[in-house]
Structure 1
Amino acid sequence: MRYLRVTSQDRSGNGRADTVLLRFYEEVPGQPDKLMLKASSVDINADGVTDLQCGGDVNHDGKDNAKDEKLIRTFANAFLKLEWFNQGKSWQRYIKVFAEDYYHDNSPNVVRLHLHEGTGTPRNQTLIYKASAHDTDNDGTLDSVVYLGENGDGENICSRAQEQLIKEMGRTFLKFKWHH
Protein backbone atom coordinates (compact mmCIF):
# COMPACT_ATOMS: atom_id res chain seq x y z
CA MET A 1 0.00 0.00 0.00
CA ARG A 2 1.10 3.54 -0.69
CA TYR A 3 0.40 6.42 1.66
CA LEU A 4 1.24 10.03 2.29
CA ARG A 5 2.45 11.12 5.71
CA VAL A 6 1.91 14.85 6.24
CA THR A 7 3.39 16.83 9.12
CA SER A 8 2.91 20.51 9.87
CA GLN A 9 5.18 22.51 12.14
CA ASP A 10 5.31 25.93 13.78
CA ARG A 11 9.01 26.56 13.26
CA SER A 12 8.72 30.32 13.80
CA GLY A 13 7.20 29.89 17.27
CA ASN A 14 4.25 32.22 16.62
CA GLY A 15 1.55 29.65 17.45
CA ARG A 16 0.62 29.05 13.79
CA ALA A 17 1.75 26.30 11.45
CA ASP A 18 4.18 27.59 8.86
CA THR A 19 5.78 24.47 7.36
CA VAL A 20 4.07 21.47 5.75
CA LEU A 21 6.18 18.38 5.08
CA LEU A 22 4.88 15.68 2.72
CA ARG A 23 6.47 12.23 2.74
CA PHE A 24 5.33 9.65 0.18
CA TYR A 25 5.78 6.08 1.45
CA GLU A 26 5.32 2.59 0.12
CA GLU A 27 4.72 -0.29 2.51
CA VAL A 28 7.12 -3.18 1.97
CA PRO A 29 6.04 -6.47 3.60
CA GLY A 30 8.44 -7.53 6.35
CA GLN A 31 10.50 -4.34 6.09
CA PRO A 32 10.26 -0.72 7.22
CA ASP A 33 8.06 1.45 5.01
CA LYS A 34 10.09 2.89 2.15
CA LEU A 35 10.26 6.68 1.73
CA MET A 36 9.85 7.34 -2.01
CA LEU A 37 9.55 11.14 -2.30
CA LYS A 38 9.68 14.28 -0.14
CA ALA A 39 8.00 17.63 -0.71
CA SER A 40 7.42 20.71 1.44
CA SER A 41 5.56 23.98 1.55
CA VAL A 42 6.23 27.07 3.67
CA ASP A 43 4.00 29.95 4.78
CA ILE A 44 6.58 32.71 5.08
CA ASN A 45 4.36 35.58 6.27
CA ALA A 46 2.01 33.62 8.62
CA ASP A 47 -1.15 34.42 6.65
CA GLY A 48 -2.31 30.80 6.44
CA VAL A 49 -1.37 30.48 2.76
CA THR A 50 1.86 28.84 1.65
CA ASP A 51 4.30 30.94 -0.35
CA LEU A 52 7.08 28.53 -1.29
CA GLN A 53 6.84 24.92 -2.46
CA CYS A 54 9.55 22.42 -3.23
CA GLY A 55 9.49 18.76 -4.01
CA GLY A 56 9.58 16.74 -7.13
CA ASP A 57 7.21 15.04 -9.49
CA VAL A 58 4.40 14.68 -6.94
CA ASN A 59 1.72 14.01 -9.57
CA HIS A 60 3.89 11.25 -11.07
CA ASP A 61 3.56 12.41 -14.67
CA GLY A 62 7.30 12.24 -15.35
CA LYS A 63 7.86 16.01 -15.04
CA ASP A 64 8.85 18.24 -12.14
CA ASN A 65 7.08 21.51 -12.99
CA ALA A 66 4.60 24.21 -11.94
CA LYS A 67 1.75 21.67 -11.86
CA ASP A 68 3.56 19.85 -9.07
CA GLU A 69 4.12 23.09 -7.14
CA LYS A 70 0.44 24.00 -7.49
CA LEU A 71 -0.62 20.57 -6.26
CA ILE A 72 1.71 20.81 -3.25
CA ARG A 73 0.37 24.31 -2.48
CA THR A 74 -3.29 23.24 -2.77
CA PHE A 75 -2.82 20.26 -0.46
CA ALA A 76 -0.66 22.19 2.02
CA ASN A 77 -3.11 25.10 2.25
CA ALA A 78 -5.98 22.71 2.98
CA PHE A 79 -3.85 20.89 5.53
CA LEU A 80 -2.98 24.15 7.33
CA LYS A 81 -6.70 24.76 7.92
CA LEU A 82 -6.90 21.59 10.01
CA GLU A 83 -4.60 23.19 12.58
CA TRP A 84 -3.08 19.76 13.35
CA PHE A 85 0.48 20.90 13.82
CA ASN A 86 3.57 20.56 15.97
CA GLN A 87 5.44 23.18 17.95
CA GLY A 88 8.96 23.71 16.63
CA LYS A 89 10.49 20.91 14.61
CA SER A 90 8.56 18.10 16.30
CA TRP A 91 7.12 15.25 14.21
CA GLN A 92 4.65 13.93 16.84
CA ARG A 93 1.43 15.03 15.08
CA TYR A 94 0.84 13.93 11.52
CA ILE A 95 -1.78 12.59 9.15
CA LYS A 96 -1.55 9.38 7.17
CA VAL A 97 -3.52 9.71 3.92
CA PHE A 98 -4.29 6.75 1.68
CA ALA A 99 -6.85 5.62 -0.89
CA GLU A 100 -8.84 2.42 -1.29
CA ASP A 101 -10.57 0.94 -4.32
CA TYR A 102 -13.52 -1.15 -3.13
CA TYR A 103 -14.79 -1.81 -6.66
CA HIS A 104 -11.35 -3.01 -7.87
CA ASP A 105 -11.67 -0.94 -11.06
CA ASN A 106 -8.45 1.11 -10.63
CA SER A 107 -10.55 4.10 -9.55
CA PRO A 108 -10.15 4.81 -5.82
CA ASN A 109 -13.47 5.52 -4.14
CA VAL A 110 -12.34 6.18 -0.55
CA VAL A 111 -9.63 8.51 0.74
CA ARG A 112 -8.81 8.01 4.40
CA LEU A 113 -7.20 10.61 6.66
CA HIS A 114 -5.85 9.16 9.91
CA LEU A 115 -4.67 11.74 12.43
CA HIS A 116 -1.84 10.41 14.56
CA GLU A 117 0.07 11.64 17.56
CA GLY A 118 3.25 9.73 18.34
CA THR A 119 6.48 8.58 16.75
CA GLY A 120 7.52 5.83 14.38
CA THR A 121 5.49 3.99 11.78
CA PRO A 122 1.76 4.90 11.80
CA ARG A 123 -0.04 2.37 14.00
CA ASN A 124 -3.24 2.02 16.00
CA GLN A 125 -1.57 3.11 19.26
CA THR A 126 -0.90 6.59 17.80
CA LEU A 127 -4.24 6.98 15.99
CA ILE A 128 -6.37 9.83 17.39
CA TYR A 129 -9.06 10.55 14.76
CA LYS A 130 -10.25 9.10 11.46
CA ALA A 131 -11.93 10.89 8.60
CA SER A 132 -12.69 9.61 5.14
CA ALA A 133 -14.15 10.98 1.93
CA HIS A 134 -16.22 8.54 -0.12
CA ASP A 135 -17.29 8.25 -3.74
CA THR A 136 -20.46 6.32 -2.95
CA ASP A 137 -21.64 5.83 -6.54
CA ASN A 138 -18.17 5.35 -8.13
CA ASP A 139 -18.58 8.35 -10.45
CA GLY A 140 -15.21 9.92 -9.61
CA THR A 141 -16.61 12.49 -7.13
CA LEU A 142 -16.06 12.33 -3.38
CA ASP A 143 -19.59 12.97 -2.15
CA SER A 144 -19.76 11.99 1.52
CA VAL A 145 -17.62 12.19 4.64
CA VAL A 146 -17.33 9.91 7.66
CA TYR A 147 -15.55 11.22 10.76
CA LEU A 148 -14.81 9.19 13.89
CA GLY A 149 -13.26 10.19 17.20
CA GLU A 150 -10.52 8.31 18.99
CA ASN A 151 -12.91 5.72 20.41
CA GLY A 152 -14.55 5.12 17.01
CA ASP A 153 -18.06 5.89 18.27
CA GLY A 154 -18.92 8.45 15.61
CA GLU A 155 -20.04 11.01 18.18
CA ASN A 156 -17.70 13.68 16.81
CA ILE A 157 -19.74 15.43 14.17
CA CYS A 158 -17.74 17.60 11.84
CA SER A 159 -19.00 20.92 10.58
CA ARG A 160 -19.89 21.62 6.96
CA ALA A 161 -16.60 23.50 6.58
CA GLN A 162 -14.66 20.51 7.95
CA GLU A 163 -16.51 18.17 5.58
CA GLN A 164 -15.54 20.37 2.64
CA LEU A 165 -11.94 20.45 3.86
CA ILE A 166 -11.81 16.64 4.11
CA LYS A 167 -13.23 16.34 0.58
CA GLU A 168 -10.73 18.91 -0.72
CA MET A 169 -7.80 17.06 0.82
CA GLY A 170 -9.16 13.79 -0.58
CA ARG A 171 -9.56 15.20 -4.10
CA THR A 172 -6.09 16.71 -4.01
CA PHE A 173 -4.54 13.52 -2.67
CA LEU A 174 -6.02 11.58 -5.60
CA LYS A 175 -4.28 14.00 -7.98
CA PHE A 176 -0.95 12.86 -6.52
CA LYS A 177 -1.78 9.45 -8.07
CA TRP A 178 -0.17 7.83 -5.06
CA HIS A 179 -2.28 4.69 -4.81
CA HIS A 180 -2.36 1.22 -6.33
Structure 2
Amino acid sequence: MRYLKVTAQDRNRTGKADTVHFQFYEDELLTRETMVTATDSGRQPLVKLARTYLKLGWLNVGDGSERYLQIFAQNPVSDGTPEAVRLHFHDGSLPPPGSTIAYKASALDRDIDGRFELILSSDVDNDGRADRTDRSRVKSLALEFLKLNWH
Protein backbone atom coordinates (compact mmCIF):
# COMPACT_ATOMS: atom_id res chain seq x y z
CA MET A 1 0.00 0.00 0.00
CA ARG A 2 1.21 3.49 -0.85
CA TYR A 3 0.74 6.28 1.62
CA LEU A 4 2.03 9.73 2.36
CA LYS A 5 3.07 10.93 5.79
CA VAL A 6 2.79 14.71 6.21
CA THR A 7 4.35 16.45 9.21
CA ALA A 8 4.20 20.20 9.87
CA GLN A 9 6.64 21.86 12.25
CA ASP A 10 6.76 25.25 13.94
CA ARG A 11 10.54 25.38 14.25
CA ASN A 12 10.53 29.12 15.03
CA ARG A 13 7.90 28.63 17.77
CA THR A 14 5.62 31.35 16.42
CA GLY A 15 2.39 29.37 16.67
CA LYS A 16 2.34 28.67 12.92
CA ALA A 17 4.08 25.92 11.00
CA ASP A 18 7.03 26.98 8.87
CA THR A 19 7.96 23.62 7.30
CA VAL A 20 6.02 20.66 5.97
CA HIS A 21 7.80 17.32 5.57
CA PHE A 22 6.55 14.73 3.11
CA GLN A 23 7.52 11.07 3.36
CA PHE A 24 6.39 8.71 0.60
CA TYR A 25 5.92 5.08 1.62
CA GLU A 26 5.30 1.96 -0.38
CA ASP A 27 4.55 -1.22 1.59
CA GLU A 28 5.93 0.37 4.78
CA LEU A 29 9.21 1.23 3.01
CA LEU A 30 10.20 4.90 2.86
CA THR A 31 10.86 5.62 -0.83
CA ARG A 32 11.27 9.39 -0.91
CA GLU A 33 11.37 12.44 1.34
CA THR A 34 11.01 16.12 0.60
CA MET A 35 10.20 19.36 2.42
CA VAL A 36 8.19 22.49 1.61
CA THR A 37 8.51 25.71 3.57
CA ALA A 38 5.66 28.06 4.38
CA THR A 39 7.24 30.65 2.08
CA ASP A 40 7.43 28.36 -0.97
CA SER A 41 5.20 29.49 -3.79
CA GLY A 42 4.00 27.92 -6.98
CA ARG A 43 1.33 25.60 -8.23
CA GLN A 44 3.13 22.29 -7.87
CA PRO A 45 0.97 19.63 -6.19
CA LEU A 46 3.22 19.35 -3.11
CA VAL A 47 3.18 23.11 -2.52
CA LYS A 48 -0.60 23.21 -2.93
CA LEU A 49 -0.98 20.21 -0.63
CA ALA A 50 1.29 21.87 1.96
CA ARG A 51 -0.70 25.13 1.83
CA THR A 52 -3.97 23.27 2.39
CA TYR A 53 -2.48 21.18 5.17
CA LEU A 54 -1.13 24.25 6.96
CA LYS A 55 -4.70 25.57 7.25
CA LEU A 56 -5.53 22.64 9.53
CA GLY A 57 -3.25 23.69 12.37
CA TRP A 58 -2.13 20.07 12.88
CA LEU A 59 1.48 20.88 13.71
CA ASN A 60 4.37 20.16 16.02
CA VAL A 61 6.20 22.74 18.09
CA GLY A 62 9.93 22.82 17.34
CA ASP A 63 11.35 19.76 15.62
CA GLY A 64 8.69 17.41 16.99
CA SER A 65 6.97 14.80 14.84
CA GLU A 66 4.28 13.37 17.13
CA ARG A 67 1.47 14.92 15.09
CA TYR A 68 1.20 13.95 11.45
CA LEU A 69 -1.25 13.06 8.71
CA GLN A 70 -1.22 9.70 6.96
CA ILE A 71 -3.05 9.89 3.65
CA PHE A 72 -3.75 7.03 1.25
CA ALA A 73 -6.09 5.98 -1.55
CA GLN A 74 -8.14 2.80 -1.58
CA ASN A 75 -9.36 0.87 -4.58
CA PRO A 76 -11.14 -2.28 -3.38
CA VAL A 77 -12.12 -3.43 -6.89
CA SER A 78 -8.59 -2.86 -8.27
CA ASP A 79 -9.67 -1.12 -11.45
CA GLY A 80 -7.06 1.63 -11.10
CA THR A 81 -9.53 4.31 -10.04
CA PRO A 82 -9.43 5.32 -6.36
CA GLU A 83 -12.79 4.94 -4.66
CA ALA A 84 -11.68 6.57 -1.44
CA VAL A 85 -8.94 8.77 -0.07
CA ARG A 86 -8.48 8.31 3.68
CA LEU A 87 -6.87 10.78 6.06
CA HIS A 88 -5.67 9.57 9.45
CA PHE A 89 -4.57 12.30 11.86
CA HIS A 90 -2.04 10.83 14.28
CA ASP A 91 -0.97 12.23 17.62
CA GLY A 92 1.80 10.20 19.24
CA SER A 93 1.45 12.10 22.51
CA LEU A 94 -1.97 10.59 23.26
CA PRO A 95 -2.25 7.59 25.58
CA PRO A 96 -1.23 4.84 25.04
CA PRO A 97 2.23 5.94 23.90
CA GLY A 98 2.99 5.62 20.20
CA SER A 99 1.26 6.58 16.99
CA THR A 100 -2.38 6.96 17.91
CA ILE A 101 -5.06 8.04 15.46
CA ALA A 102 -6.71 11.13 16.93
CA TYR A 103 -9.35 11.34 14.19
CA LYS A 104 -10.10 10.36 10.60
CA ALA A 105 -11.62 11.86 7.46
CA SER A 106 -12.48 10.43 4.03
CA ALA A 107 -13.32 11.55 0.52
CA LEU A 108 -15.41 8.96 -1.34
CA ASP A 109 -16.04 8.55 -5.06
CA ARG A 110 -19.02 6.22 -4.85
CA ASP A 111 -19.78 5.97 -8.58
CA ILE A 112 -16.12 6.02 -9.71
CA ASP A 113 -16.52 9.04 -11.98
CA GLY A 114 -13.46 10.92 -10.71
CA ARG A 115 -15.45 13.22 -8.39
CA PHE A 116 -15.93 12.88 -4.67
CA GLU A 117 -19.62 12.63 -3.86
CA LEU A 118 -19.26 12.13 -0.11
CA ILE A 119 -16.87 13.78 2.34
CA LEU A 120 -16.76 12.42 5.87
CA SER A 121 -14.96 14.62 8.36
CA SER A 122 -15.00 16.07 11.80
CA ASP A 123 -13.46 19.39 12.79
CA VAL A 124 -10.20 18.88 10.86
CA ASP A 125 -9.14 22.53 11.06
CA ASN A 126 -9.64 22.62 14.83
CA ASP A 127 -11.77 25.77 14.89
CA GLY A 128 -14.46 24.24 17.11
CA ARG A 129 -16.94 23.53 14.28
CA ALA A 130 -17.35 20.60 11.89
CA ASP A 131 -18.67 22.44 8.86
CA ARG A 132 -18.45 22.99 5.10
CA THR A 133 -14.93 24.43 5.45
CA ASP A 134 -13.70 21.15 6.96
CA ARG A 135 -15.26 19.13 4.15
CA SER A 136 -13.75 21.49 1.58
CA ARG A 137 -10.28 21.08 3.10
CA VAL A 138 -10.58 17.28 3.14
CA LYS A 139 -11.64 17.32 -0.50
CA SER A 140 -8.75 19.64 -1.45
CA LEU A 141 -6.23 17.45 0.38
CA ALA A 142 -7.61 14.34 -1.34
CA LEU A 143 -7.49 15.93 -4.80
CA GLU A 144 -3.94 17.22 -4.37
CA PHE A 145 -2.83 13.85 -3.00
CA LEU A 146 -4.11 12.12 -6.15
CA LYS A 147 -2.03 14.49 -8.32
CA LEU A 148 1.28 13.51 -6.70
CA ASN A 149 4.08 11.86 -8.63
CA TRP A 150 5.34 8.87 -6.60
CA HIS A 151 8.68 8.56 -8.39
TM-score by length of 1: 0.72
Which residue number corresponds to residue 110 of structure 2?
136
Which residue number corresponds to residue 147 of structure 1?
121
Which residue number corresponds to residue 40 of structure 1?
35
Instruction: Tell me, yes or no, if structure 1 residue 74 matches structure 2 residue 48.
Output: yes
Out of 162, 168, 171, the position equivalent to 2:134 is 162
Q: Taking every aligned residue pair, what percent have the same amino acid on both sides?
A: 39
How many angstroms does 1:177 deviate by? 5.2
Task: Describe the SS at the equivalent of 1:78.
Answer: helix
Instruction: Tell me, yes or no, if structure 1 residue 100 matches structure 2 residue 74.
Output: yes
Runs of 4+ in 1 over 3 A off after TM superposition: none
Provide the aligned C-alpha RMSD in A. 2.2
Tell me, yes or no, if the aligned pair for 1:135 and 1:142 is still in contact at 8 Å.
yes
Task: Pick the structure with greater CA Rg.
Answer: 1
Instruction: Tell me, yes or no, if structure 1 residue 51 matches structure 2 residue 40.
Output: yes
How many angstroms does 1:176 deviate by? 1.3
Q: Distance in 2 between matches of 1:26 and 1:137?
A: 27
Which residue number corresponds to residue 87 of structure 1?
61
How many angstroms does 1:158 deviate by? 2.4
Mark the CA change 1:21 to 1:141 in structure 2 (over 3 Å): closer, same or farther. Answer: same
Task: Describe the SS at the equivalent of 2:102.
Answer: strand
How many angstroms does 1:115 deviate by? 0.3
Equivalent residue pairs, number: 142
Aligned AA for 1:170? A
Tell me, yes or no, if the aligned pair for 1:142 and 1:170 is still in contact at 8 Å.
no
Q: Distance in 1 between matches of 2:17 and 2:137?
A: 17
Which residue number corresponds to residue 3 of structure 2?
3
How many angstroms does 1:34 deviate by? 1.1
Instruction: Tell me, yes or no, if structure 1 residue 112 matches structure 2 residue 101.
Output: no
Runs of 5+ consecutive residues of structure 2 not aligned to the other structure = none
TM-score by length of 2: 0.85
